[in-house]
Amino acid sequence: MPMTEWLMRFADSDVPAYRCRQGILRYRELIAAARRVASLLSQTVPSGSPVGIYGHKELLMPVCIAACTLAGLPYLPIDRQIPSVRAERMLRLAGARLLLCAAAPPWTPPVPFLSSDKLESAAFSPALSPAEPVRTAPDDPFYLLFTSGSSGEPKGIRITRRNAASFLRWEQSLLGAGEGPVLNHAAFSFDLSVAALWFSFLNGRCDAELESELFGDFPALFDAMDQSAPSLAVLTPSFAELLLASPSFGANRFPALGQFLFCGETLRPQTVRRLKLRFPTAHIYNSYGPTETTVAVTGCELTEVMLQQPLLPIGYAGTRSSITIRDPSSHIELPEGETGELVVTGEQVAAGYLGEIQGGFCRIDSRPAYRTGDLGWQRDGLFYCRGRIDRQLKWRGLRIEPEEIERCLLQCEGILQAAVVPVLQQGRVRRLRAFVVLSSGIHDPQSIKLQLRTLLPAGMIPDLTALPHLPLTSHGKCDYTALKELL
């Protein structure tokens, strides 16, 4: 039960565990509150059943996450940016028996729920006796996360306790246990947050959260960062570029910031060079992995020599993972240097998707494996990743299947056909554009955007262009290459 043990080690510690705009929770307070909520959970939720957690970065978020962990129940984080239809679908697909609301959702939950008021009085009421941690097994589910699905439905991934513990131990071997606060900007519904929140809990450090409303407001954002004085930042490259847009972001203002861990999308050498100029003595790490293999399975510190290459490595395979490069069709292993699909085996491969979906989960030499869909190669043990086999995209750190947006567009009134393509600038996705064919009488793309907002998170809404018809290839399929030429 490593995650439970990690938390309980700090039950008497007055060291800060979590910081957000609402304030600070010390380990002693966090664990006492979590144990009280856990005692409510054990009275209301059948053993092993998933629990949804709605909110953003509120103080109640880590309380709910720790409560589920101590009660031996898998948790499903639902960030407030997820619209109601999608959130309801996620709760149903997961079979959640209860929703803990760290904030009030602007929709009626489709399952029994505990409002933030009730939750707060339970968490901080000395009247409620704290629960003893429930015994769990390594292969019990730990958390459930949903990613964009090419079938049009978000896919739910089951991460076990073993998966998460393996990742976190490897992260510790990569970065060292360290000290000082760990900065996180990712929502808890994005698994990058695990590399900050649970890494902090493993090492008795403070997880310092940045709320998404700060992202467009440098003075407020930097004030929040000043107050938390992080020594490690867990970042997507897109977020680092946002920070670098301000000349104030540097070692003069943030002298404690000595480590940067990147993950989630392609990290460009230019970004690292700019960061090095601002933080000349900092250690910068690149890491890579799909949610299905628990946050990250490769990583390395970036050296000066690596920065001279046009493509940065994604790192060496983690201590608990093994990675091979395979032919995408025959799945035969390819020799060093040849480009193929990155295939992961080892302790971080998740327990599969919820429901009947198989996706990239498979067995190799009778061991569970995951075919990532990423193209890459390996040289001297270092892995490189360049592009995808399919149409999957990363936009502002968010994983997006264009097919899912197309499916949602087709659910909107007045759309007959839809095709989504990325608008690229220097190889990076800058926007998404949907080419749509409208039924007669519908002329207002804004009304379509409004409908789309009820189905998709804000980060997945494309710009719209109406066409009289979509161009076709000689095989009669939608011609995406021709559409890209219209951008």
Q: Tell me the closest approach of the beta carbon of residue 48 to ligand AMP, in angstroms.
A: 25
Identify the residue among 29, 207, 374, 403 touching ligand AMP (CB under 6 A): 374
Of the residues 16, 109, 290, 462, which one makes contact with ligand AMP according to CB under 6 A:
290
**In which residue are the tokens 């054990």 written?**
42
H or E segment to which residue 242 belongs: helix 237-244
Concatenated DSSP letters of 140-190: SEEEEEEE--TTSSPEEEEEEHHHHHHHHHHHHHHH-S--S-EEE-S-TTS
Q: Which of 35, 155, 394, 407 binds ligand AMP (CB under 6 A)?
A: 394
Applying CB under 6 A, what is the total number of residues that bind ligand AMP? 17
Compute the least distance from the CB of residue 387 to ligand AMP, in Å: 8
d(CA 146, CA 53): 13
From the list 55-63, 260-268, 405-413, 475-483, the region that binds ligand AMP by CB under 6 A is 260-268
Cβ closer to ligand AMP: 75 or 288? Answer: 288
Kindly state whether residue 407 participates in binding ligand AMP, applying the rule CB under 6 A.
no
| Residue with Cβ nearer ligand AMP (425 or 446) | 425
Cβ atoms of 409 and 397 closer than 8 Å: no
Positive or negative, the CA dihedral 220, 205, 315, 322 is: negative
Indicate whether 286 belongs to the interface with ligand AMP (CB under 6 A): yes
- 224 vs 300 by CB, closer to ligand AMP: 300
| Binds ligand AMP (CB under 6 A): choice among 59, 90, 257, 314 | 314
Q: How far is the CB of 46 from ligand AMP (least distance, A)?
A: 29
Which of 163, 189, 321, 372 contacts ligand AMP by CB under 6 A? 372
Kindly state whether residue 267 participates in binding ligand AMP, applying the rule CB under 6 A: yes
CA dist 417 and 410 (Å) reads 7
CA 267 – CA 261 distance, rounded (Å): 11
Q: Using CB under 6 A, which of the segments 168-176, 226-234, 262-270, 359-367 binds ligand AMP?
A: 262-270
Residue 400 beta carbon to ligand AMP: minimum distance, rounded to whole angstroms: 9
Coil, helix or strand at residue 452: helix
Q: Tell the smallest beta-carbon distance from residue 41 to ligand AMP (Å).
A: 28
> CB of 421: closest distance to ligand AMP in angstroms?
17
Q: How many residues does this entry show for the chain?
A: 487
Whether the CB-CB separation of 18 and 58 falls below 8 Å is answered with: no
Q: Long-range contacts: 388-393, Cβ < 8 Å, 24+?
A: 389/328, 389/341, 390/150, 391/150, 391/480, 392/148, 392/150, 393/422, 393/429, 393/432
Least separation in angstroms between residue 456's CB and ligand AMP is 15
Our finding on whether 399 is near ligand AMP (CB under 6 A) is yes
Shortest approach of ligand AMP to residue 306 CB, angstroms? 13
Q: Distance (Å, rounded) from C-alpha 60 to C-alpha 42?
A: 18
Q: Choose between 30 and 192: whose C-beta lies nearer to ligand AMP.
A: 192
Residue tagged 């793309």 (tokens): 445
Q: Tell me which stretch binds ligand AMP (CB under 6 A): 114-122, 172-180, 265-273, 447-455.
A: 265-273
The SS3 assignment for 383 reads strand
Cβ pair 233, 260 in contact under 8 A: yes
Binding status of residue 402 toward ligand AMP by CB under 6 A: no
| Residue from the set 265, 341, 403, 406 that interacts with ligand AMP by CB under 6 A | 265
Beta carbons within 8 Å of 304's beta carbon, 6+ residues apart: none
CA distances to 152, 415, 447, 477, 479 from 482, in Å: 23, 20, 26, 11, 5
Binding range to ligand AMP, per CB under 6 A, among 8-16, 89-97, 225-233, 261-269 = 261-269
- Tell me the sheet residues that pair with 101: 54
d(CA 393, CA 387): 9
Q: Give the footprint of ligand AMP on this chain (CB under 6 A).
A: 147, 263-267, 286, 288, 290-291, 314, 372, 374, 385, 388, 394, 399
